[in-house]
Amino acid sequence: MICRFLLNSFPRSNQRSSSRLNRWILLWSLVIAVVCLTSFVPTDAQAAPSPDTVKQLIQINDPSSVIDIEIQGSVVHLNGSVTEQASKERILQTIAALPDVTQVVDNIHLQPIAPLSLAPLQQDAEQFWDKALLYLPRLALGLSIFLLLFWLSHPLARLLISPLAWVTKSELIRLVMQRSISVLIILLGLYIFLRLAGLTQFAVAIISSTGVIGLILGFAFKDIAENFISSLLLSVQRPFKLGDVISVEGNLGVVKQVTARATTLVDYDGNHIQIPNATIYKNVIKNLTANPRMRGHFVIGIGYDASIRKAQDIAMEIMSDHHGVLADPEPQVLIKNLGPSTINLQVYFWVNAETHSVPKVASILMRLLVRAYEANQISLPDDARERIFPQGIQLVTNGHPQDETPLNTIQSTEHNSNKAQESLEDTHNETSDDISSDTDDIRQQAAQSRDPESGANII
């Protein structure tokens, strides 16, 4: 009907053109009819699953399986073997669950478990033995060189550092250099042994890791390394020696021991004080025995009614006559300041600290000066104070009109007489005063006491 409709719609004037057109119309009508018929024809055929998908699923469930895959439409044939029954069941269930699979043909069998065999181990052992026999001469040579260098490391190190004795006398410097050279010689022997054994890369790794390990240890033990380096610098510069009296950060004492970590002082109370070497090196060090001459000083105040020149001359005469005071440098008596009630004199004197004690000499000089000023009527007043007597002062006499001498005048005369007598006694006993230095006593106590920590002196 469609063809007839198309034929009637064209004019019949041109018979040839219409016949050609009829053939084209007929052809297209057949094509349209076939398409329409195929679209309504029911079919049970489904698309086949992808082989790659099936292979991926099998590998996921059992990577060690050996299975061949054959796909016919929606039917999947599996031929091969797996290691476990559980793996087989998982593979079948996973593939059967695919939407494009209608049937799974199971031709999978379990792989037999091979018995334990020592053949591979035996083969490896034989190969190792063959290689060992091949490298045995080189191993023996490398081991001999390593043991020889290990045995000769200390003598060689001592021989190599012998010129250091001309440069420094520090035992610590020589010890550190000797140990460092010994370690380098041992590492050289280890490198030669590994190189002859065929472990060149391992030898290079060991040598390289030595520096890395040293860097790591340096950061980890920063304080210890700082004290050790400070001990090296103290050993080289030698700002003090054993037995010297030094003062560091308010700690005064005799140097007893200097190790690679700390310096031990024995103070004048007999206490052991350990100070880290880094602290000593970074702070001010006062060495009191580097120069045996030490200056002592004290202040004494005289009244404003006294003669300043006379007081200075008396002090100079007393210090010049005392055997503990050095004549060179000469002592001095200077005016320090003017106080509320006294003129304060600063007395300077020098002593030999190796034989005399500065505090003892200062004590004796102050005692002699006080007695000399009292004998020469030079007043030593205290600070000015105001005293108020609301009821007045009652004078007491002896009760006889002819004798009007006050009692306080008599007592003052007797007091001055007693002071003069004490001054003569002080002058007479001056030679018996103990002015010896305490440093020797502290040194003896330090020598007799136990060491607070192990380790030899480095200075």
Checking if the pLDDT of 5 tops 80, the result is no
Query: 44-53, 84-93, 182-191, 377-386: which range is least confident on average?
Result: 44-53
The tokens for 270 are: 């007999």
The tokens for 425 are: 């006694």
How many other C-beta atoms are found inside a 10 Å radius of the C-beta of residue 72?
A: 10
Query: 103-112, 142-151, 168-177, 411-420: which range is least confident on average?
Result: 411-420
Upper half-sphere CA count for residue 142 (Cβ side, 13 Å)? 19
Checking if the pLDDT of 71 tops 60, the result is yes
Name the range with the highest mean pLDDT among 106-120, 181-195, 416-430, 437-451: 181-195
Can you give the pLDDT at residue 409? Answer: 44
pLDDT band at 404 (very low <50, low <70, confident <90, very high): very low
Name the range with the highest mean pLDDT among 105-114, 173-182, 188-197, 356-365: 356-365
Handedness of CA 132, 135, 140, 143 (dihedral sign): negative
What is the average pLDDT value for the chain, to the nearest integer? 75
The residue ranking higher by pLDDT, 13 or 226, is 226
pTM of the model: 0.47
Q: Residue 287 and residue 3: Cα distance in Å, rounded?
A: 132
Same topology between domain 51-110 and domain 293-383+406-428: yes
Q: What share of the chain is helix, strand, coil (3-state, %, to 5)?
A: 50, 15, 30
199 closest CA partner among 208, 190, 186, 188: 190
The DSSP result for 45-90, as a single string, is: --PPPPHHHHHHHHHHH-TT-EEEEEEETTEEEEEEEES-HHHHHH
Answer for the pair 180, 214: CB distance below 8 angstroms, yes or no: no
Q: Residue 130 and residue 152: Cα distance in Å, rounded?
A: 33
Find the helix packing angle between 358-375 and 407-428, rounded to 10°. 140
Answer for the pair 407, 395: CB distance below 8 angstroms, yes or no: no
**Domain 51-110, architecture per CATH:** 2-Layer Sandwich (3.30)
Checking if the pLDDT of 402 tops 50, the result is no
User: Strand, helix or coil at 356?
Assistant: strand
Q: What percent of the chain lies above the pLDDT cut of 70?
A: 66
Can you give the pLDDT at residue 96? Answer: 78
Can you give the pLDDT at residue 345? Answer: 94
The CA R_g of the chain, rounded to the nearest whole Å, is 57
Checking if the pLDDT of 173 tops 80, the result is no
- Phi, psi dihedral angles at 82 (to 5 degrees): -130, 170
What is the distance, to the nearest Å, from the Cα of residue 426 to the centroid of all Cα atoms in its chain?
Answer: 60
Can you give the pLDDT at residue 25? Answer: 74
pLDDT band at 333 (very low <50, low <70, confident <90, very high): very high
Q: Residue range 161-168: average pLDDT?
A: 76
How is the beta sheet containing 332-338 ordered, strand by strand? Answer: 293-302, 343-352, 332-338
Name the range with the highest mean pLDDT among 68-72, 187-191, 325-329, 343-347: 343-347
Paired residues of 351 in beta bridges: 294
Domain ranges in the chain are: 2-38, 51-110, 128-220, 293-383+406-428
Checking if the pLDDT of 346 tops 90, the result is yes
Q: Residue 447 and residue 243: Cα distance in Å, rounded?
A: 10
Can you give the pLDDT at residue 133? Answer: 76
Can you give the pLDDT at residue 401? Answer: 44
Calculate the alpha carbon distances from 185 to 157, 215, 347, 444 in Å.
8, 20, 65, 44
Q: Which fold has domain 293-383+406-428?
A: Alpha-Beta Plaits (3.30.70)
User: Strand, helix or coil at 251?
Assistant: strand
Q: Residue range 154-166: average pLDDT?
A: 82
Q: Residue range 228-243: average pLDDT?
A: 82
Paired residues of 298 in beta bridges: 347
Can you give the pLDDT at residue 122? Answer: 77
Can you give the pLDDT at residue 459? Answer: 57
How many other C-beta atoms are found inside a 10 Å radius of the C-beta of residue 24?
A: 10
The residue ranking higher by pLDDT, 47 or 300, is 300
Per-residue pLDDT tens for 9-61? 444 545 555 666 667 677 777 767 666 555 544 444 455 667 777 777 777 77
